Chain A
Amino acid sequence: MSLYILVGAVEQGLVYALMVLGVYLTFRVLDFPDLTVDGSLPLGAAVSGALIVRGMDPFLSLLLAMCAGAAAGCVTALLATRLRIMSLLASIITMTALYSINIRIMGRPNLTLLNQPTVLDALSFIGLPRYLLTPLIFLGIIIGCKVLLDLFLHTQLGTALRATGDNPQMIRSQGVNTDMMVILGVSLSNALVALAGGLVAQSQGFADVGMGIGTIVAGLASVILGESLVGAQTVFRQTLNAICGSLLYRLTIAVALSYRVGFLRLTPSDLNLITAVLVVICLTVPLLRTRLVMWKRAQGD
């Protein structure tokens, strides 16, 4: 694996870590399985891209992309809480609707941003070569978001949000409207995912309506990989693990893509298959471990 590929994987790991933080927030903190992300990632890319093409400042376009993501999350949460649609189904509905909406926003299924100003151009005055600058900027953004998220999860609102995922009956009887917490959490999560989408579009130079396919599975794989890293189960550690999980995941994928397995050479289009297999392995390892322990015990008797 060349240094070029390695740096590329790190860059991807860092930018998609924003999405992984979002997935961590819904799946782990809120206990709300949310598939909206497959739609809100390209939504962020579409909003940011379309606005830049129309001459908006790239930073401001990211802010609006986050707002769009939050709105998408809000729709899913409203479907789930107010209309009592199962969370998984509610998010699939939003995701499906977003496919059409994203094409509407861009005016066509994809949008090229070559020769358009991006946040990376705006920061190029630092003077580093692009292949180093991009990951460093992404590192800065992800650290900033992690710190803010950690701080938020320790506020009154943040603790109430965590309690909603842990024990809704308890927190309701402490006077917290759990529906509001779900709306807040899912919106925040999708804002992060849309930010990731916007940054990906700006760094790759294009936005595509299909770029979100497999996002949730990649996000889950990263969260689970991150959890396999040991550490105290504090919020600080969990968000750190999510980011490390994202890096680990992208590196694993890069390695898998750069080797030939017999006659088979994997291509980027095999990514979703590899991810799916990875998630299944991650999810079954604990089960296999307990089975093995039980089997050993049975042998011992």
Chain B
Amino acid sequence: MLEIKKLKKIFNRGGINQVTAIHSLSAFIRNGDFVTVIGSNGAGKSTLLNLIAGTYLPDSGELLLAGENATRWPEHRRAAYVGRVFQNPLLGTCATMSVEENFALASRRGLRPGFRWGVTNSQRELFREKLKLLGLGLEYRLKDKVGLLSGGQRQSLTLLMATLRRPRLLLLDEHTAALDPKTAEQVLNLTRELIQEMGLTALMVTHNMKHALELGNRLIMMHQGRVILDVDGPTKAHLTIQDLLNEFSKLKGQDLTDDKMLLI
């Protein structure tokens, strides 16, 4: 589904603040893989997701989406394949537009907008059905501006929107990090259900190792722009938090049990 070949991203090239955020990274994500991605702050997780979505273009390397070379595709073109939820709950929706208008935009992800009505009645029915799944009462608030909703409600909305049109690849960047624990748990459950029911291929970045272990069939650990651990199947299923900590300290040759960056 997604093939990354020796991808490299350097920020502020030539400047004093030059950072190599991604070091010649290669990975192959199979169809149906649900990958959780962990790593300390600045490991390059968000940069990797931005490179996949086309928000940034790489300095070198190749990126294949569903077999097509998408390395130079602009962000809006990749949107036909990729659904996204951002860490910032404000980024995924338009505050000044209504719930149904946001949904309508997402329902046409990757399609060229035309002169037809932005929202149709048959769509409204569908949106109501979908919103009922959230159990937040949003199905009665189709006409409300999204700006009136809470961060958790907006993030749940963004998640539904990202999966409204089946994405070939779903990218989730710490999408529960800005929410209170209870809401975060709800959004996480919704994530799990949606991915399972629709059989989606997904990459989920998280700082919560428990979540990283519980969810998905594959786990990738990143450090300083590189993949330092990539496990799947039964190996992943039997992994424990202590294993992860050991793995990390072994690879890096230092004891990290009390590293604040690796919050459990």
Residues of A within 8 A of B (CB): 154-160, 162-163, 166-167, 169-178, 233
Contact = CB atoms under 8 A, between A and B. Distances in A.
B79 A173 contact: yes
B8 interface: no
Interface residues of B, number: 35
Given A157-B113, A166-B94, A176-B79, 4 more contacts: A155-B114, A162-B101, A175-B109, A175-B110
Given A154-B117, A159-B113, A170 B108 contact: no
B115 interface: yes
B95 A157 contact: no
B108 A156 contact: yes
B115 A157 contact: yes
Interface in B34-89: 53, 55, 74-77, 79-80, 82, 84, 86
Contacts, number: 89
Contacts of A157: 113-115
Given A173-B75, A177-B76, A162 B94 contact: yes
A167 B161 CA distance: 15
B96 interface: yes
A157 B103 CA distance: 14
Interface SS majority for chain A: helix
In the complex, which of the residues B53, B76, B82, B86 has the most CB atoms of chain A within 10 Å of its own CB atom?
Answer: B76
Interface SS majority for chain B: loop
19 contacts: A154-B119, A155-B115, A156-B114, A156-B118, A159-B101, A159-B104, A159-B113, A159-B119, A163-B94, A166-B94, A167-B90, A170-B91, A173-B53, A173-B75, A173-B79, A174-B109, A175-B77, A175-B110, A175-B111
Contacts of B79: 172-176
A173 B105 CA distance: 10
A172 B80 CA distance: 11
B106 interface: yes
Given A157-B113, A158-B118, A159-B105, A175 B80 contact: yes
Contact of A167 (B77, B91, B116): B91
B151 interface: no
Contacts of B92: 170, 173
Contacts of A178: 76
Nearest to B85: A173
In the complex, which of the residues B79, B91, B106, B114 has the most CB atoms of chain A within 10 Å of its own CB atom?
Answer: B79
Contacts of B76: 172, 175-178
B123 to A, nearest CB: 11
Contacts of A172: 55, 75-76, 79
A154 B95 contact: no
Contacts of A158: 118
Contact of A160 (B90, B105, B117, B145): B105
Contact of B91 (A154, A169, A175): A169
B93 interface: yes
B251 to A, nearest CB: 33
Contacts of B178: none
A167 B96 CA distance: 9
A154 B118 contact: yes
B97 interface: yes
A167 B119 CA distance: 19
B97 A162 contact: yes
Contacts of A159: 97, 101, 104-105, 113, 118-119
A158 B119 CA distance: 11
Contact of A155 (B97, B106, B109, B118): B118
B232 to A, nearest CB: 27
Nearest to B104: A159
Q: What 3 A-B pairs come out closest when comparing CB atoms? A: A175-B79, A159-B118, A156-B113
Interface in B112-151: 113-119, 145
A200 to B, nearest CB: 30
Contacts of B111: 175
Given A162-B96, A163-B97, A174 B118 contact: no
Contacts of B90: 167
In the complex, which of the residues A154, A162, A170, A174 has the most CB atoms of chain B within 10 Å of its own CB atom?
Answer: A174
A97 to B, nearest CB: 29
Contacts of A166: 94-97
